[in-house]
Structure 1
Amino acid sequence: MPAMPASVETASALIAIVCASAPVHLVLNLRSLDCAIRLVTGAKAAASDELFHPADLIIVMHDPHSGIDGPTVIRDLRGHDGHARTAVLLLGASSALRRSGIEAGATDVMTGPIDPLDLQIRVCNLLELALARQVLHRQSVAMCRDVDRAGAEAASREREIIRRLMLAAEFRDDQAGDHLTRVAGCAIAIAEGLGLSEGDANDIALASTMHDIGKISIPDSILMKPGPLSDSEREEMKHHAIRGYRMLYDSPSHLLQLASDIALTHHERWDGGGYPQGLSTTQIPLAGRIVAVADVFDALISERVYKKAWTPEAARRHLEEHAGTHFDPDCVAAFVARWDDILGLVESNPPESATV
């Protein structure tokens, strides 16, 4: 009978044969496939560490009289991480072996007298299946790496966009940078105090740096005015919330969408007396409620042309006194619970002319 030619794919494959003694006839029959063959032999073969070494195909020769119980060997193989999906061919004389072998996890079972050509065909098909699965696995791993890399690059671009928007805000107000840093730090403390995950807290903090981005639309005569605003000027200033939202809301970026919510709602009040929509309680997104506390605290401890800086302790009392009216009481409680962190933030990034 002519030998079956080896395919290009299977020529480099490795077959492990688990048997009681060296199966010369089987090895000779598989030689035409030009595969490497490793024998795991002897009565203790099923318990040998060598059984679990890597292989593209494992052939188990059922011989219970010599200590090789095929289904038991296969169950052991399937319980090993390295062979959970390895192709396994079970060979045996009993036709009753087919069911127990398949139940144990055999990929294929051959029983009765083994036809050499049939064996070659089965082995060749199993090897090609195994090697194709390996190729798919490598492609899947490569795709996952590509997806992870693309995700990291997208996140980096988002942060770059946010950083540049922060720079735009600083061009209009040279105190904006320090203010945004302190607001972001307070936002992290409040978010973590509320039990949010580190990732969610960091997202809110980063998005919070754009809460006043709409102020770039406010005329310098109002934004830089060295004194209290008139009623009409105050109404114009209030427009920064809706304008900031419009700058950001339709971005596909999660961070920019979060920033748009914060820009729109950080001047809303828990009691409904805020602007621009008059939202109340949990109608206000959580991120907006968090930043409202952080923003007001920093505004109070910062000196302005129309007011002196408050001490952190005085600003804290203001927040506590207005919890449940201006502010979400849970956000204020979270802020107070992280008071040592807040003080550390203020000490490391002090507002100009503030008495800490």
Structure 2
Amino acid sequence: MKQRAHVLVVDDQADNLLILEDVLSDHYDVHPATNGIEALDYLAKGGRADLILLDVMMPDVDGFEVCRRLKSSESTRAIPVMFLTGLDRPEDEELGFSLGAEDFIHKPISPPVVRARVRTHLALSRATRALQRRNADLELLVAERTAEISEQTRRLVTSKQEVIAAQAATITAFCALAEARDNETGNHIRRTQHYVRILAEKLQDHPRFRGELNEEIIQLLFKSAPLHDVGKVATPDAILLKQGKLTPEEWVIMKQHCEYGRNAIVQAENALGGAVDASFLRYAAEIAYGHHERWDGSGYPEGLAGEAIPVSARLMAVADVYDALISRRVYKPPFPHEQAIEMMFAEKGSHFDPDIVDALMLVAGDFAAIARNFSDESGSEDSASSE
């Protein structure tokens, strides 16, 4: 049998307590308290409360002070607080929200409003706790998998050849994590790593890139590119696999995959540092963290602009967006290759580094060939079938 939620009602007026108990008792266990000290003592002694309805105007200790104490305590700060008040000044509500309250219910109370607000905030509180537990579990999973990967890789190193094998094993393991969580990955990571290499090779002799792109670095970029979305391993399934447009709140969580990916890679790099040359993961961390930055500074997670964005991330941005355009998604059909190239060119100097876009124009045929060679069964092949 599902346990009923507990609502702590705090009001110095006995008739208000009786009304609220009558309004809520059919669905919740209601515990009344006639003043703030009584409510705080009840909670301090282990009393249960999933939500608190708190009168503002009470003798001795008013509701604002009770809320401040609740939100300053580790044991009670997560309990949603809703003020019951006849006050209607904006500054009173501003103070209440600044103290951590979730909502205000104005007196005289409306039973339907009280029931709706209580139901909504209890549901939100449950969802928040579930998400926190999910994130904690995912962080633990990432830490455990990273430790496993680091240990497996450490065993491989005794020579240069084994160092190369260790790099490949680390990236393969991380990629397996990403592919296991993302139902749209398919051959996306294989296409994008080839796009990155083609672009880097084209720019190898360019004056702006000559000092940052040599054969060794290009090979490291090729190995690292598949890790650009590895942070999605920490994105909740309800968001990552959602069949439709994300809400603003979900989009905030989705964007955190850049930080999650960078942190996991840096953790692996630190763990490997004593056993092998782990510098190859530097580019993987740059790509994971910065591939959604934009040349004009309007991207995320930091809003970097121009040369402040690492070259590796700028290359990945072009590769990633092109492949997204030509690939089928739940929210759009695949664009033909020619249209995708035109759309990329339109973002020259805003989303993308202008010189990298110019390089893309010169290797567009190679991009189309890569898309065909690593096409998804769902339809990427026909989306890049013409040049």
Find the aligned partners of 2:183 and 2:329 in 1 and give their Cα distance.
13
Give the counterpart letter for 1:273 in structure 2.
S
Confirm whether residue 280 of structure 1 aligns to residue 305 of structure 2: yes
Q: Per-residue deviation at 1:232?
A: 0.6
Does 2:194 correspond to 1:192?
A: no
Task: Kindly provide the CA deviation profile for residues 160-205 of structure 1, in whole angstroms up to 9, marking residues without a partner as x.
Answer: 1100111111111244240000100100011011113333222112
CA contact (8 A) 1:166 1:177 kept: no
**Deviation digits for residues 124-182 of structure 1 (CA, Å, limit 9, x no counterpart):** xxxxxxxxxxxxxxxxxxxxxxxx96122112111111001111111112442400001
Task: Give the aligned partner of residue 379 of structure 2.
Answer: 353
Cα contact 2:293–2:309 (8 A) shared by 1: yes
Equivalent positions of 1:84-95 (< 5 A) are: none
For 1:268 and 1:287, the matched residues in 2 are separated by 11
**What's the CA shift string for 1:232-254, capped at 9, x where partnerless?**
11111000001111111241312
| Residue 259 (structure 1) aligned with residue 284 (structure 2) | yes
CA-atom RMSD in angstroms:
1.5
CA contact (8 A) 1:244 1:263 kept: yes
**Distance in 2 between the 1:212 and 1:197 partners?**
25
Is residue 175–residue 226 contact of structure 2 (8 Å, CA) maintained in 1? yes
Q: Answer whether contact 1:215 1:244 (CA < 8 A) is retained.
A: yes
1:346 Cα shift? 1.1
1:270 aligns with 2:295: yes
Deviation readout 1:297-353 (Å, 9 max, x if unpaired): 001111111111111111111111101000001111112211221111111112432
Q: Deviations over 1:15-48 (max 9, x none)?
A: xxxxxxxxxxxxxxxxxxxxxxxxxxxxxxxxxx
Note if 1:208 corresponds to 2:217.
no
Q: Please name the residue that 2:64 is paired with.
A: none
Report 1:192-341 matches (<5 A). 192-195=201-204, 196-250=213-267, 251=269, 252=273, 253-341=278-366
Match of 1:344 in 2: 369
Within a 5 Å distance, the mapping from 1:105-254 to structure 2 comes to 150-195=159-204, 196-250=213-267, 251=269, 252=273, 253-254=278-279
User: Unpaired runs of 5+ in structure 2?
Assistant: 1-156, 205-212
Letter in 1 for 2:179: E
Instruction: Tell me the distance in 1 between the aligned counterparts of 2:216 and 2:367.
Output: 19
CA distance in 1, matches of 2:332, 2:218: 31
- Are the counterparts in 2 of residues 214 and 244 from structure 1 also a CA contact under 8 Å? yes
Q: Residue 165 of structure 1 aligns to which amino acid in structure 2?
A: F
Given residue 379 of structure 2, which amino acid in structure 1 is its aligned partner?
S
Deviates more, 1:338-347 or 1:284-293: 338-347
Distance in 1 (alpha carbons) for counterparts of 2:228 and 2:218: 15
Question: Contact between 2:174 and 2:230, CA under 8 Å: does it hold in 1?
Answer: yes
TM-score normalised by structure 2 residue count: 0.52
User: Cα deviations across residues 77-103 of structure 1 (Å, max 9, x unaligned)?
Assistant: xxxxxxxxxxxxxxxxxxxxxxxxxxx
Distance (Å, rounded) in 2 between the aligned partners of 1:276 and 1:331: 21
1:285-304 CA-partner distances (Å, limit 9, x unpaired): 00000000000000111111
Q: Are the aligned partners of 2:322 and 2:344 in contact in 1 as well (CA < 8 Å)?
A: yes
The DSSP-based 3-state class of the residue aligned with 1:176 is coil
Is 2:183–2:241's contact at 8 Å kept on the other side of the alignment? Answer: no
For the residues of structure 2 that align with 1:174 and 1:228, how far apart are their CA atoms? 16
Stretch of structure 1 that moved more, 273-282 or 197-206: 197-206
Percent identical pairs in the alignment equals: 35
**Cα distance in structure 2, aligned partners of 1:269 and 1:241:** 14
